[in-house]
Amino acid sequence: MPLIRPFAGLRPVPERADDVVAPPYDVLNSAEARQRAAGRPWSFLHISKAEIDLPEGTDPYDATVYAKAADNMQKMLDEGILRRDPKPCYYVYRLTMGDHAQTGLVAAASVADYDSNRIRKHEFTRPAKEDDRVRQIEALNAQTGPVLLAYRSEPDINELIQSVTANPPEYDLKADDGVGHMFWVADDQALIDRLTAGFDRMDAIYIADGHHRSAAASRVAATLNRGPEAMSSYFLSVIFPHDQMKILDYNRVVKDLNGLRESEFLQRISEAFDVHEADRAVSPSRAGEFGMYLDGRWYRLSIHAGRIPQDPVARLDVSLLADNLLEPVLGISDPRIDPRIDFVGGIRGLGELEKRVNNGEMSVAFSLFPTSMEDLMAVADANEVMPPKSTWFEPKLADGLVSHVLD
């Protein structure tokens, strides 16, 4: 079976798209989703975060939430807000954020190729989050949140995808955060066949974001066991060329200095880093360089060259900071569970790091150089796992532009 295939998408009618499209389900908590959906009866949040239509305090994982999501989807179908395309198509999706733009293909990706690691992973998943997505898919008989995938950029494939954008878009929306979402339908059979064949020649494609959604799709496919040709054996994805994707820094803040005085702390970290005080906020300009905000002052840290290993995981900046400072100096051995550390996406800027130290909530902050797509793919190719909070992708895919029905 092919690596990707077209599918008959379930999506908003064009005149209702702006009413439907919503932020991804996992970037808002229940209270934020309730506020964002207020006065918007057709917002996709009524499907992706259906607890907002139940009494406040309802557990988002309660069975009533999934049932409510299914009711809300059916209502949007009955009212003509959503409709399903009459035949399988590919779709082209362009995201714009400021001067940045990336254009990718919306497709159904093969669960079998996910299971065999041709669709490559780089993160562990948590059972509770997998279970949530499984229950959502089963309640809706559809996948509503796309998995963000990447392929090693190929000019021929890029040109085929870009050719669709010569036509007027089906949707052209701008979200509250200023991100643009443009969406085209690619229903020409000759183009569909060329895209399918082009991707099938690839050795691998890569999960950038959406490990829980893809793992859940695999579990649902195994349970349904409808065979490799069934639509339930594929999952909703948006696939971008790797060199168009934008990864921001994913920074760290720590509550205390592990009992060290400031002078002792600076002395300890100088064993692994060159430490220089800076006269302004430090946004690292290269791998192996870090910014540090401590007691109202910024420092530039440069890792000693001899401490950079060749292993694709250990050489990541997030690993270098963890292995040479966070664990040996600050005593943070497992950042997944240690309550003394928190993570700040680069979209919030360096001012957020200063704020959290200046207000006394945290003692020290670290700014990092963004992980590259090449590093992510190298880790996935080695069948290894990246440390937690290694990548922050922007801009984010929207929910509600198109869903993948399993039959």
Q: What's the pLDDT score for residue 126?
A: 87
User: What is the DSSP code (8-state) at residue 296?
Assistant: T
Q: What's the pLDDT score for residue 177?
A: 86
CB-side neighbour CA atoms (13 Å) of 114 = 26
End-to-end CA gap in the chain: 17
Spatial distance between the Cα atoms of 298 and 281, rounded to a whole number of angstroms: 6
User: Alpha carbon of 336 to those of 9, 16, 124, 172: distances in Å?
Assistant: 37, 41, 11, 39
Cβ atoms of residues 171 and 401 within 8 Å: yes
Helix, strand, coil in percent for the chain, rounding step 5: 35, 25, 40
Report the candidate in 69, 46, 216, 68 with the shortest Cα–Cα distance to residue 146.
Answer: 216
User: Alpha carbon of 358 to those of 51, 91, 265, 297, 351: distances in Å?
Assistant: 36, 47, 18, 10, 10
Cβ atoms of residues 185 and 91 within 8 Å: yes
DSSP string, 69-94: HHHHHHHHHHTTSEEE-SS-BEEEEE
Query: Helix, strand or coil for residue 289?
Result: strand
Q: Where do we find the tokens 């020409």? A: 188
Domain boundaries, the chain: 4-246+394-405, 250-369
Query: pLDDT by residue (tens digit) across 27-78?
Result: 899 999 999 999 999 999 999 999 999 999 999 999 999 999 999 999 999 9
Contacts of 57 (CB under 8 A, 6+ apart): none
Query: pLDDT by residue (tens digit) across 284-342?
Result: 999 999 999 999 999 999 999 999 999 999 999 999 999 999 999 999 999 888 999 99
Average of pLDDT values for 228-232?
95
Query: Which CATH fold topology does 250-369 show?
Result: 3.30.1760
Spatial distance between the Cα atoms of 158 and 184, rounded to a whole number of angstroms: 15
Q: What average pLDDT does the chain have? A: 96
Decide if pLDDT at 182 tops 90: yes
Query: pLDDT by residue (tens digit) across 241-252?
Result: 999 999 999 999
Decide if pLDDT at 404 tops 90: yes
Report the candidate in 65, 213, 94 with the shortest Cα–Cα distance to residue 144.
Answer: 213
Average of pLDDT values for 206-219?
96
Q: What's the pLDDT score for residue 216?
A: 98
Q: What's the pLDDT score for residue 15?
A: 97
DSSP string, 162-224: HHHTTSPPSEEEE-TTS-EEEEEEE--HHHHHHHHHHHHT-S-EEEEE-HHHHHHHHHHHHHH
